[in-house]
């Protein structure tokens, strides 16, 4: 990892990993470790250092690429694999949470291709390794601002400017958590934010869902397929959820709704055993034994750097046109940053694939890629 923000010239070749490798000393943790990168001698022309178009041209501390992919969850990694295999030499700005949301979970049982459950971090390490093997350059930095007014598009991350003829935005959405230490410690050990993903693990168990909006009520109802009982906990006595969802939950024999109930702590050493609750009207405390808790208080789409340039819907998600396009030609969108309907690793990966193919075809139509590669997928 570079230890300051001083612009430096980097010449990437082969499979590089990142510029924020924690072993190199600035303290940012990188769960994937990191390999070294070659630094071009001052004054050397980075574009010709190894010759040919496979070198990323960098000058004056700037990195130029045909395609920059922002985000390294399943959408970003799949886009990187496809773009690299189409000789687009993608640069992935992976963010400060490399690997994305699956880094927060343990068993993943619904991603095709694995007979036995695979751990979320292992799945993401495999995707990253695959992307690097086929030639993607991955840098663990957050994009903090962009200028999409003209091509090449310009992106800035930790003081370095990146220029790209096409951009794929795959920055995902962050699940909102209660912010309790015990909740963080037991994530993937009974604490989850995804009923579709983890409900199956709670067959014949008693569980709780926290929240008062549509998602909480939908997840509570969905989880009755597995659980013996679902407690829906909400700190207020009114709900934001739609009337039909509330009525359905109220009528369900497995769901018990607890208004005016705040979660103070998740109890358990290695797995969830109970919740410590407070009645928000009386202040009375109690313990509720449960085997799992689903936090369903919402998601925040990671769009801060882009929302001045691209359309967002009322919930803050990016709006796509024609599958993966945006309102700016050459800027593509993939994964949970726009998709609040499916929110799955496999759908995000599918989106990443589509965005890379669309970007490649678009670059080809602009005459930026030399030869048609759309048959090479």
Helix (H, G, I), strand (E, B) or coil at 304: coil
Q: Which of 20, 30, 72, 369 binds ligand FAD (CB under 6 A)?
A: 72
- Of the residues 64, 197, 339, 351, only one is catalytic, namely 197
Burial of residue 15, with CB atoms counted within 10 A of its CB: 0-12 exposed, 13-18 middle, 19 or more buried? middle
Does position 118 interact with ligand FAD (CB under 6 A)? The reply is: no
Does position 152 interact with ligand FAD (CB under 6 A)? The reply is: no
Bond preceding residue 152 cis, omega within 30 of 0 = yes
Taking the complex as a whole, how short is the minimal distance between the CB of residue 238 and ligand FAD, in angstroms? 26
Does position 142 interact with ligand FAD (CB under 6 A)? The reply is: yes
The residue among 217 and 299 lying less far from ligand FAD, judged by its C-beta, is: 299
Does position 175 interact with ligand FAD (CB under 6 A)? The reply is: yes
Spatial contact of 180 and 263, defined as CB atoms under 8 Å apart: yes
Q: How many C-beta atoms lie closer than 10 Å to residue 59's C-beta?
A: 12
Q: Which of 131, 148, 170, 359 binds ligand FAD (CB under 6 A)?
A: 170
Q: Which of 93, 210, 216, 310 binds ligand FAD (CB under 6 A)?
A: 93
Does position 102 interact with ligand FAD (CB under 6 A)? The reply is: yes
The residues near 114 (Cβ < 8 Å, ≥ 6 apart) are 108, 123
Helix (H, G, I), strand (E, B) or coil at 129: helix
Spatial contact of 231 and 254, defined as CB atoms under 8 Å apart: no
Q: How far apart are the first and last CA of the chain?
A: 34
Of the ranges 10-18, 98-106, 210-218, 241-249, which one interacts with ligand FAD (CB under 6 A)? 98-106
Spatial contact of 324 and 334, defined as CB atoms under 8 Å apart: yes
Does position 104 interact with ligand FAD (CB under 6 A)? The reply is: yes
Choose among 348, 346, 263: nearest CA to 301. Answer: 348
Burial of residue 143, with CB atoms counted within 10 A of its CB: 0-12 exposed, 13-18 middle, 19 or more buried? buried
- Of the residues 140, 142, 194, 358, only one is catalytic, namely 194
CA distances from 296 to 5, 127, 280, 311 (A): 38, 28, 19, 26
198 is an active site residue: yes
The residue among 140 and 360 lying less far from ligand FAD, judged by its C-beta, is: 140
Of the ranges 90-98, 131-139, 212-220, 271-279, which one interacts with ligand FAD (CB under 6 A)? 90-98
User: Interface residues for ligand FAD in 188-227 (CB under 6 A)?
Assistant: 192-194, 197
For the chain, give the longest Cα–Cα distance: 73
Name the strand (E) or helix (H) holding 130: helix 120-133
Q: Which of 34, 98, 152, 301 binds ligand FAD (CB under 6 A)?
A: 98
Taking the complex as a whole, how short is the minimal distance between the CB of residue 96 and ligand FAD, in angstroms? 6
The residue among 100 and 330 lying less far from ligand FAD, judged by its C-beta, is: 100
Task: Return phi, psi of residue 167, to 5°.
Answer: -130, 135
Q: Which of 73, 152, 199, 301 binds ligand FAD (CB under 6 A)?
A: 73
Does position 324 interact with ligand FAD (CB under 6 A)? The reply is: no
Task: Return phi, psi of residue 213, to 5°.
Answer: -100, -170
23 DSSP assignment? G
Q: How many C-beta atoms lie closer than 10 Å to residue 351's C-beta?
A: 28
Distance CA 341, CA 15 (A): 35
Of the ranges 2-10, 18-26, 220-228, 337-345, which one interacts with ligand FAD (CB under 6 A)? 337-345
Taking the complex as a whole, how short is the minimal distance between the CB of residue 142 and ligand FAD, in angstroms? 4
Taking the complex as a whole, how short is the minimal distance between the CB of residue 148 and ligand FAD, in angstroms? 14
Taking the complex as a whole, how short is the minimal distance between the CB of residue 243 and ligand FAD, in angstroms? 28
Taking the complex as a whole, how short is the minimal distance between the CB of residue 365 and ligand FAD, in angstroms? 26
List residues binding ligand FAD (CB under 6 A): 70-76, 93-102, 104-105, 108, 110-111, 142-143, 170-172, 175, 192-194, 197, 302, 305, 335-336, 343-346, 348
Active site residues: 194, 197-198
């Amino acid at each position: 990892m570079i230890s300051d923000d001083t612009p430096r010239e980097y010449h990437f070749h082969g499979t590089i990993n990142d510029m924020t490798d924690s072993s190199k000393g600035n303290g940012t943790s990188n769960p994937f470790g990191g390999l070294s990168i070659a630094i071009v001698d001052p004054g050397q022309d980075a574009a010709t250092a190894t010759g040919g178009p496979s070198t990323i041209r960098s000058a004056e501390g700037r990195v130029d690429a045909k395609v920059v992919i922002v985000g390294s969850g399943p959408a970003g990694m799949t886009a990187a694999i496809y773009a690299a295999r189409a000789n687009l030499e993608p640069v992935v700005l992976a963010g400060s949470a490399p690997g994305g949301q699956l880094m927060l979970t343990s068993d993943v049982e619904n991603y095709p291709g694995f007979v036995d459950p695979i751990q979320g971090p292992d799945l993401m390490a495999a995707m990253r390794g695959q992307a690097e093997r086929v030639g993607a350059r991955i840098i663990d930095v957050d994009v903090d601002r962009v200028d999409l007014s003209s091509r090449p598009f310009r992106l800035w991350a930790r003081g370095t400017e990146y220029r790209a003829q096409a951009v794929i935005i795959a920055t995902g959405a962050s699940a909102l958590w209660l912010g309790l230490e015990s909740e963080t410690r037991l994530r993937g050990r009974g604490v989850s934010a995804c009923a579709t993903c983890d409900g199956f693990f709670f067959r014949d168990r008693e569980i709780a869902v926290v929240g008062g909006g549509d998602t909480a009520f939908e997840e509570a109802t969905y989880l009755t397929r597995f659980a013996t009982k679902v407690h829906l906990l909400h700190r207020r006595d009114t709900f934001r959820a739609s009337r039909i969802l509330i009525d359905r939950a109220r009528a369900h024999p497995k769901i018990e709704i607890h208004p005016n109930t705040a979660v103070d702590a998740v109890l358990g050493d290695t797995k969830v055993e109970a919740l410590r609750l407070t009645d928000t009207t009386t202040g009375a405390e109690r313990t509720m034994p449960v085997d799992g808790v689903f936090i369903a208080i919402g998601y925040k789409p990671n769009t801060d750097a882009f929302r001045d340039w691209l359309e967002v819907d009322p919930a803050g998600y990016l709006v796509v046109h024609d599958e993966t396009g945006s309102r700016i030609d050459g800027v593509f969108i993939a994964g949970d940053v726009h998709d609040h309907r499916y929110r799955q690793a496999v759908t995000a990966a599918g989106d990443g694939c589509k965005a890379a193919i669309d970007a490649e075809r678009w670059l080809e139509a602009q005459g930026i890629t030399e030869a048609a590669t759309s048959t090479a997928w």
